[in-house]
Amino acid sequence: MAKDLNTTGRWLKRLTQGLADPQDRKELVVMLRDATDRGLIDSDALTMLEGVLEVGDLQVRDIMVPRAQMVFVRRHEPAARILPVVVESGHSRFPVMDEDRDDIVGILLAKDLLRLTAAAARERFDIREYMRPAVFVPESKRLNVLLKEFRRSRNHMAIVVDEYGGVSGLCTIEDVIEQIVGEIDDEFDVEDEHNIRRDAERQFTVRGVTRIEEFNAYFGAQLSEQEGVDTVAGLLMKQLGRLARRGETAHIDGFEFRVLRADHRRIDTLRVVAPHDVLPPPEERPAGGTS
């Protein structure tokens, strides 16, 4: 233990060597960046340290999925209507709403629905047997406080409410953690060597950084490059006039673009549904890689 403490002390001494004690957070960030330039910490560690500092300033409203973009199921719907929603969205947790959209009665976990693979189970489906309690938090709650509550309660999703008690969105533990460590890869991520992945006959997963010329070459499309815009994500933001949020959909030249992954800085991944007249052949593969 003494050896570990000595090692830590030497590391801190190296980190602060030649620098005065930081007087505020801005100076602390400058010190950390200087340490990165001197090779004391790597860039990934710097990103996480800056994320930790930022989480204390952010509120739930800054990162939540807004109410209009929430994927939910209705309390009185049969299994035959709920299962397609679960499969299509790719999410793991779903708010369960009653008739009123402000009345959320529980959370449904996709993994709990595995029992419905049997036809008999679907016939006697009662959502009350599957629902878990919903957790509600105010829009103003700090992210570092919410993260502590997630860890303590082992909940992974919270319903966000406004000052009047109405539902304004939802927030997951992954949303909070990504503010610290950056994007977490999941099944929506495209392989490193490709910017475009074909998932079904007319459905594709496309990286936001895909250049418009690469997109056009792959699909035989004619999306136009605009001033200051050369990527698919940039084109979508130009169309909307702002940074798109996860779940939002836009239509451009017959293509449907749905945001699968995004944060408050960028659009990471899109689901694209192509029109029949520009559909690439089945053997077609994207020629470009990451930009």
Given this model, what pLDDT does residue 149 score?
93
pLDDT of res. 37: 82
Per-residue pLDDT of 214-273, as tens digits, reads 999 999 888 887 667 888 988 888 888 877 777 788 888 889 998 887 765 678 888 899
- Residue 152, classified by CB atoms within 10 Å of its CB into exposed (0-12), middle (13-18) or buried (19+), is exposed
On whether the pTM is more than 0.85, the answer is no
Compute the distance between CA of residue 91 and CA of residue 69 in angstroms, rounded to an integer: 13
CB contact set of 145 (below 8 Å; sequence gap of 6+): none
Whether 207 has a pLDDT exceeding 80, the answer reads: yes
Question: CA-to-CA distance for 130 and 112, rounded, in angstroms?
Answer: 7
pLDDT at 291 over 50: no
Q: Which residue has the higher pLDDT, 13 or 23?
A: 23
Average of per-residue pLDDT across 116-132: 84
CATH class of 196-278: alpha beta
User: What pLDDT score does 106 carry?
Assistant: 93
- Fold of the 61-181 domain: CBS-domain (3.10.580)
Q: What is the largest CA-CA distance in the chain?
A: 72
Burial of 33 (C-beta count, 10 Å sphere; 0-12/13-18/19+): middle
Q: Categorise residue 247: left if φ over 0, alpha if ψ from -120 to 50, beta otherwise.
A: left
Residue 13 has pLDDT above 80, yes or no: no
Q: For the chain, what is the mean pLDDT?
A: 80
Confidence of residue 159 (pLDDT cuts 50, 70, 90): very high
Q: Where are the domains of the chain?
A: 2-60, 61-181, 196-278
Q: Do residues 216 and 223 lie in contact, with contact meaning Cβ atoms separated by under 8 Å?
A: yes
pLDDT at 185: 54
pLDDT band at 286 (very low <50, low <70, confident <90, very high): very low
